[in-house]
Chain A
Amino acid sequence: MSAHGEAVAPPSEAVGRPSASRRAKDLGFRIGLLGCLGLAFLLLGVLLWDVVRDGVDRLDLDFITSFASTNADQAGIEGALLGTVWLMGVCAVFIIPVGVATAIYLEEYADNTRWYNRLIEVNIQNLAAVPSIVYGILGLAFLVRGPLSLGPVVLAGGLTLGLLVLPVVIIAGREAIRAVPSSIREGSMALGATQWQTIWRQVLPAAVPGIATGVILALSRAIGETAPLIVIGTPVFVAFNPDGLDSSFTAMPIQIFDWISRPSNDVNNYLPLAAAGILLLMIVLLCMNAVAIWLRNRYEQKW
Chain B
Amino acid sequence: MEAGARAEARGRPEVILRAASPRYGEKLIKVLLVLAAFISVLTTTGIVVSLLEETINFFREVPIGDYLFGTEWTPLFNPPSYGVLPLVLATFIVSLIGMVVAIPLGLGAAIYLSEYARPSVRKTVRPILELLAGVPTIVFGYFALTYFTPEILRGLFGNDVQIFNGLSAGIIVGFLIIPTIASISEDAMTAVPASLREGAFGLGGSKLQVTLRVVFPAALSGIVASIVLGLSRAVGETMVVLIAAGQQPQWGVNVFNPMETMTTFIGATGKGDISTGSLEYKTIFAVGMTLFVITLIMNLFSIRFVRKYRQVYE
Q: Which A positions have Cβ atoms within 8 angstroms of B?
A: 1-11, 15, 18, 22, 25-26, 29-30, 32-37, 39-41, 43-44, 46-47, 50-51, 54, 97-98, 101-102, 104-106, 109-110, 119-120, 122-127, 129-138, 140-142, 145-146, 163, 166-167, 170, 189, 194-196, 217, 220-221, 223-227, 230-233, 253, 256-257, 260-261, 271, 274-275, 278, 281-282, 285, 289, 293
Contact = CB atoms under 8 A, between A and B. Distances in A.
Contacts of B43: 127, 138, 163, 166
A97 B29 CA distance: 13
Given A8-B198, A22-B206, A32-B108, 19 more contacts: A25-B208, A36-B109, A37-B108, A37-B112, A40-B105, A44-B132, A101-B33, A105-B30, A105-B33, A119-B41, A126-B299, A126-B300, A133-B266, A137-B51, A138-B47, A138-B50, A224-B134, A274-B142, A278-B138
Max chain A CB contacts within 10 Å: which of B50, B135, B139? B139
Contacts, number: 271
A230 B118 contact: no
Interface residues of B, number: 102
Nearest to B107: A36
A51 B116 contact: no
A54 B30 CA distance: 54
28 contacts: A4-B194, A10-B201, A29-B208, A44-B131, A47-B140, A51-B139, A51-B143, A97-B36, A109-B30, A109-B34, A122-B300, A122-B303, A125-B299, A130-B299, A131-B235, A131-B237, A137-B285, A145-B276, A163-B43, A196-B25, A196-B26, A224-B137, A225-B136, A227-B242, A231-B270, A257-B243, A260-B141, A282-B135
Interface of chain B: mostly helix, strand, loop or mixed: helix
B69 interface: no
Interface in B1-49: 1, 19, 23, 25-26, 29-30, 32-34, 36-41, 43-44, 46-47
Task: Name the 10 nearest CB pairs between A and B, nearest first.
Answer: A131-B236, A224-B136, A36-B108, A101-B36, A141-B50, A33-B112, A227-B238, A231-B270, A105-B33, A2-B190
Interface stretch (B75-83, B154-162, B248-256, B289-297): B289-297
Contact of B202 (A11, A127, A141, A224): A11
A262 to B, nearest CB: 12
Most buried by A among B41, B205, B271: B271
The prevalent SS among residues of A at the interface is helix
Contacts of B40: 102, 120, 123-124, 127, 166-167, 170
A133 B201 CA distance: 48
Given A105-B33, A163-B43, A137 B284 contact: yes
A47 B128 CA distance: 14
Nearest to A119: B41
A131 to B, nearest CB: 2
A294 B182 CA distance: 23
B70 to A, nearest CB: 22
Interface in B215-253: 229, 232-233, 235-239, 242-243
